[in-house]
């Protein structure tokens, strides 16, 4: 039968130790209910001695959450254990998790205790916890920097005292994967009572190796992994739950273990935890980051359009995301662009598609991401385009609250280059006067409107103008991330139409 690895979630205890996070009982309960849906095996709900608020939160979770084991943390002291036991009383499946540090550094400087004193405190703590609940977990804090002989003795005595789970923490994220695997294997071989307890690991991410260390431990035979949603936790955090679970899933061929997590709840859980804690998820975060299932590069997009598994090792649906995304930007290619147009309902002939793609690339050079609204604007703008008799090659404008606005333009009118300058009551007025002069067209602006087509600082601005020429109204549109440029394009577009109306335009 395939071995099962239990997922012990410590988002509400170690995760809450993330600098800047403080959760009230209501928030903790909401997260705990989602963890229940995620189907974690154990929820470490808090550290009841820490505060009345945490006591109440653990109690509320113990009362309301059914299914997972509810654990409460306690130092190896009577008062901590009594408080944890009290908070866990209503739990269907309570666990007291007691711990004491075992490394020379911690014993000497922090606890000021000898090895024998630590051993005695650990045994007493496990026994006291056992007087309240059947399920007792014992952790040797800073195990990875502890003396191996002492560690074996400590775990052995903890199991004899009644510990049902022994946890091996890499408290300060110091171990390397090979070292950590050696530590776990040595303990498995040298603690005679090890078969009577579940073996667990608890890894921190100070050197970015928490997930790798936890997965190495799985290969050594551990049956519980402690982790936190979004990798929250003290300092650089704990091993990320979603990364461990998806590694076990995606590489089941390699790890060959089962787990109980409903992976389709991963995305929702991650979002909820991020919203409630206020800790944003970095976009390139594995599994749950905004980019985890997004493809920007044309070659990748082409591959994914042909067959998703070319660049996706797990499906977005498997974590509860509706779909992957093809982000249109400067690295995108024709395949992805054409596909997006199709989704938006545009079927363009090849030459139109090529032109639209060229404009898309121009825009993508200026803008980080080209949105659907941008694309619609490009296609619609192109659809109503007459051949260009007037082309604005360049323009310059200078303005200020104490200076008259001045503008100059260089225009190509049917192959002839004309330069003109003008002043105006504002930059747009000055530019439009310069354009009228350069094109030698006597027309009048009757309406000007500007709107943002898309969102963000680099949004496309769309300018629409109405120009009166000999009593006839001509509409012009301009689109650019620069609103002055959009204004010039709109006016030139309207003037171009006046030329074609008079028969002065030439086909290009």
Ligand X SMILES: CC(C)C(=O)C(=O)O
Ligand Y SMILES: CC(=O)SCCNC(=O)CCNC(=O)[C@H](O)C(C)(C)COP(=O)(O)OP(=O)(O)OC[C@H]1O[C@@H](n2cnc3c(N)ncnc32)[C@H](O)[C@@H]1OP(=O)(O)O
Q: Tell me the binding residues for Mn(2+).
A: 14, 202, 204, 238
d(CA 156, CA 160): 6
Determine the angle formed by the axes of helices 266-277 and 25-38, rounding to 10 degrees: 170
Segments of 285-389 assigned E as strands: 294-295, 325-326
One residue of 11, 56, 98, 139 binding ligand X per CB under 6 A: 139
- Which tokens in the block code for residue 386? 């007459």
**Considering only 14-22, 37-45, 174-182, 398-406, which stretch makes contact with Mg ion by CB under 5 A?**
14-22
Q: Tokens 């190509």: give the residue.
A: 412
d(CA 216, CA 181): 6
Task: Please name every residue paired with 4 in a beta bridge, in sequence order, or none if there are none.
Answer: 258
Q: Which is nearer to ligand X, 167 or 480 (CB)?
A: 167
Strand order of the β-sheet with 403-413 is 390-400, 403-413, 416-424
Q: Which does 139 bind (CB under 5 to 8 A by kind): Mg ion, ligand Y, ligand X, none?
A: ligand X
Min CB(96)–ligand X separation in Å = 12
- Which tokens in the block code for residue 25? 């009982």
Q: Which 66-85 residues touch ligand X, going by CB under 6 A?
A: 73
3-state class of 228 per DSSP? strand
Phi and psi at residue 478, to the nearest 5°: -140, 145
Q: Tokens 């390397």: give the residue.
A: 176
Q: Which is nearer to ligand X, 204 or 340 (CB)?
A: 204
Query: Is 16 an interacting residue with respect to ligand X (CB under 6 A)?
Result: no
d(CA 151, CA 436): 87
Query: Is 205 an interacting residue with respect to ligand X (CB under 6 A)?
Result: no
One residue of 15, 48, 169, 505 binding ligand X per CB under 6 A: 169
d(CA 20, CA 49): 20
- Which residues here bind ligand Y, judged by CB under 6 A? 14, 17, 47, 49-50, 75-77, 99-100, 110-111, 141, 171, 234
Q: Which is nearer to ligand X, 63 or 179 (CB)?
A: 179
Min CB(190)–ligand X separation in Å = 21
Do the Cβ atoms of 95 and 135 come closer than 8 Å? yes
Total residues contacting Mg ion by CB under 5 A comes to: 1
Task: Please name every residue paired with 466 in a beta bridge, in sequence order, or none if there are none.
Answer: 447, 475
**Considering only 29-37, 164-172, 340-348, 500-508, which stretch makes contact with ligand X by CB under 6 A?**
164-172
In the bound state, the residue with its beta carbon closest to Mg ion is 14
Q: Which does 75 bind (CB under 5 to 8 A by kind): ligand X, Mg ion, ligand Y, none?
A: ligand Y
Min CB(119)–ligand Y separation in Å = 12
One residue of 9, 14, 54, 436 binding Mg ion per CB under 5 A: 14
Do the Cβ atoms of 260 and 2 come closer than 8 Å? no
One residue of 8, 55, 99, 337 binding ligand X per CB under 6 A: 99
- H or E stretch including 407? strand 403-413
Min CB(167)–ligand X separation in Å = 6
Query: Is 389 an interacting residue with respect to ligand X (CB under 6 A)?
Result: no
Q: Applying CB under 5 A, which residues contact Mg ion?
A: 14
Q: Applying CB under 6 A, which residues contact ligand X?
A: 14, 73, 99, 139, 141, 167, 169, 171, 202, 204
């Amino acid at each position: 039968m395939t071995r099962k690895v239990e997922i012990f979630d410590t988002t509400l205890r170690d995760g809450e130790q993330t600098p800047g996070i403080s959760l009230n009982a209501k928030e903790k309960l909401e997260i705990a209910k989602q963890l229940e849906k995620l189907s974690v095996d154990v929820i470490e709900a808090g550290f009841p001695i820490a505060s009345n608020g945490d006591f109440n939160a653990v109690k509320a979770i113990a009362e309301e959450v059914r299914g997972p084991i509810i654990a409460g943390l306690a130092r190896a002291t009577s008062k901590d254990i009594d408080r944890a036991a009290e908070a866990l009383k209503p739990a269907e499946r309570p666990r007291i998790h007691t711990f004491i540090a075992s490394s020379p550094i911690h014993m000497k400087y922090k606890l000021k205790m000898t090895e024998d004193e630590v051993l005695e405190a650990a045994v007493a703590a496990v026994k006291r916890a056992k007087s309240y609940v059947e399920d007792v977990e014992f952790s040797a804090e800073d195990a990875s920097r502890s003396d191996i002989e002492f560690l074996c003795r400590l775990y052995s005595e903890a199991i004899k005292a009644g510990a049902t789970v022994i946890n091996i923490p890499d408290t300060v994220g110091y171990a390397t994967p090979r070292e950590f695997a050696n530590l776990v294997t040595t303990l498995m071989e040298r603690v005679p009572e090890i078969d009577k307890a579940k073996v667990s690991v608890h890894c921190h991410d100070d050197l970015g190796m928490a997930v790798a260390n936890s997965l190495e431990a799985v290969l050594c035979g551990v049956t519980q992994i402690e982790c936190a949603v979004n990798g929250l936790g003290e300092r650089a955090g704990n091993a990320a739950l979603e990364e461990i679970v998806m590694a076990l899933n995606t590489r089941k061929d390699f790890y060959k273990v089962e787990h109980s997590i409903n992976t389709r709840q991963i995305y929702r859980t991650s979002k909820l935890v991020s919203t409630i804690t206020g800790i944003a998820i970095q976009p390139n975060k594995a599994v749950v980051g905004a980019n985890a299932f997004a493809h920007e590069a044309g070659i990748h997009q082409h591959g994914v359009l042909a067959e998703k598994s070319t660049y996706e090792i797990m499906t977005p649906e498997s974590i509860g995301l509706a779909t992957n995304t093809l982000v249109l930007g400067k690295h995108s290619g024709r395949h992805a662009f054409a596909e997006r147009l199709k989704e938006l309902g545009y079927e363009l002939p090849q030459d139109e598609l090529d032109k639209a793609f060229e404009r898309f690339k121009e825009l993508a050079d200026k803008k980080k991401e080209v949105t659907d609204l941008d694309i619609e604007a490009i296609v619609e703008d192109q659809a109503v385009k007459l051949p260009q008799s007037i082309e604005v090659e360049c323009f310059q404008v200078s303005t200020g609250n104490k200076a008259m606005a001045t503008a100059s333009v260089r225009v190509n009118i049917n192959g002839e280059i004309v330069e003109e300058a003008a002043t105006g009551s504002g930059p747009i007025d000055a530019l439009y006067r310069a354009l009228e002069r350069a094109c030698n067209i006597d027309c009048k602006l009757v309406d000007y409107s500007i709107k943002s087509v898309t969102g963000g600082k680099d949004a496309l601005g769309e300018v629409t103008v109405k120009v009166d020429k000999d009593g006839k109204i001509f509409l012009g549109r301009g689109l650019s991330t620069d609103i002055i440029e959009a204004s010039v394009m709109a006016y030139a577009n309207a003037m171009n139409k006046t030329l074609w109306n008079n028969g002065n335009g030439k086909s290009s």
